[in-house]
Amino acid sequence: MLDYHLHLWPHSERQTPLGLEQLQAYCEKAQAAGVSELAVTEHLFRFRQADDLLGGFWADERASPGLKASMADYWDFHATADLDDYVTCAQEAKDAGLPVVIGLEVDYYEGRMDEVAGLLACYPFDVLLGSVHWLGAWRFDDLDDPVSMGEWSARQVDACWDTYTGALEELAASGVCDVLAHPDLIKVAGHRPDAPAEWWDRIAEAADSSGMAAEVSSAGWRKPVGEQYPAVPLLERFAARGVPLTTASDAHRVEHVADHAASLRGLLGSVGVEFLQGYRGRQPHAVAVGDQPVALDAAG
Ligand SMILES: [Zn+2]
Ligand SMILES: [Zn+2]
């Protein structure tokens, strides 16, 4: 098993401490759950380098002033860390023998992905997650922001899924990232279309045609939707097409590392998947799903 989606800092905290102790604790928690390899994948937008490159990207959107102001505040709050220091810390963990690889969670920036790729090429990343959290200036997954959540009542659910899927297709086609993170995140707040098959087909096709892997994430169990990403019918579509998979918790603190690993293992078994895809230097390799770890007390 893998936990290929891990953050160092909660969204609520502006401070961005770095230290090997945190990664050591993540590895211990993961290994106790039978997870053999971890990827540290902080958000690109937590770094000043992203602000220099992309700050104000929301300004020319036809979004409401409220959404734009909310995004400006969010961006300003988050873009405080140094990308060089972050990569150095992850590299030190690797060099110390911890089972971690160096990653990043990258958002989709319409028309800007070549510039994003140029920045990322300066660093020795092992794996890059590609995510759609935002549609223009709208942070549809920011459950704590009343402005963002209010937007759900102003839009049609089908149209939201359509716009989300279009952004995900463009992100996949850009070729900048390796893994589609939480592929059906648009359901996060619990808004689902009556007939989602069309969008599931398109998301599976986007992964398949781009060569990207797809993430199977337990994070949705901690959200209003109350379901892993992807939904079972989308997971079945990935498996039927042979799309490589990773597993992930999307933890932002140690308590959630390897969260629900046993349930994810069961899901993979239910669709006949025995191997996941890990990465080194952005090159894939196979990792066995593996057996359930034996509980320490049962092992005596
Ligand atoms: Zn994400
Ligand atoms: Zn994340």
Q: Which residues surround ligand 1, an ion (CB under 5 A)?
A: 131
In the predicted model, is pLDDT for residue 298 greater than 50? no
Mean pLDDT of the chain: 95
What is the reported pLDDT for 220?
Answer: 98
> What string of DSSP letters covers 65-131?
HHHHHHHHHHHHHHTTB-HHHHHHHHHHHHHTT-SEEEEEEEE--TTTHHHHHHHHTTS--SEEEEE
Reported as a pLDDT band with limits 50, 70 and 90, residue 295 is: low
In the reported structure, the alpha carbon of residue 127 is separated from the centroid of ligand 2 by a whole-number distance in angstroms of 13
Strands 134-135 and 2-6: unpaired
In the reported structure, the alpha carbon of residue 105 is separated from the centroid of ligand 2 by a whole-number distance in angstroms of 6
What is the reported pLDDT for 60?
Answer: 74
Residue 204: Cβ within 10 Å count: 23
Distances in Å between the alpha carbon of 222 and those of 3, 86, 188, 218? 16, 27, 10, 8
In the predicted model, is pLDDT for residue 101 greater than 70? yes
In the reported structure, the alpha carbon of residue 43 is separated from the centroid of ligand 2 by a whole-number distance in angstroms of 7
In the reported structure, the alpha carbon of residue 298 is separated from the centroid of ligand 2 by a whole-number distance in angstroms of 34
Reported as a pLDDT band with limits 50, 70 and 90, residue 299 is: very low
What is the reported pLDDT for 50?
Answer: 97
CB within 8 Å of 294: residues ≥ 6 apart:
none
Cα 222-9-211 angle, rounded to 5 deg: 70
In the reported structure, the alpha carbon of residue 206 is separated from the centroid of ligand 2 by a whole-number distance in angstroms of 20
What is the reported pLDDT for 46?
Answer: 98
Residues above pLDDT 90, as percent of the chain: 94
Distance (Å, whole) CA 266 – CA 287: 16
In the reported structure, the alpha carbon of residue 165 is separated from the centroid of ligand 1 by a whole-number distance in angstroms of 15
Q: Are 226 and 247 a contacting pair, CB within 8 Å?
A: no
31 phi/psi in degrees, rounded to 5: -65, -35
What is the reported pLDDT for 300?
Answer: 38
What is the reported pLDDT for 61?
Answer: 67
In the reported structure, the alpha carbon of residue 47 is separated from the centroid of ligand 2 by a whole-number distance in angstroms of 14
294 or 125, greater pLDDT: 125
What is the reported pLDDT for 62?
Answer: 79
Q: How much is the average pLDDT of 186-208?
A: 98
In the reported structure, the alpha carbon of residue 169 is separated from the centroid of ligand 2 by a whole-number distance in angstroms of 19
In the predicted model, is pLDDT for residue 159 greater than 60? yes
In the predicted model, is pLDDT for residue 167 greater than 60? yes
Distance of CA 235 to the CA centre of its chain: 16
Ligand lying closest to the C-alpha of residue 229? 1
Q: Are 79 and 18 a contacting pair, CB within 8 Å?
A: no
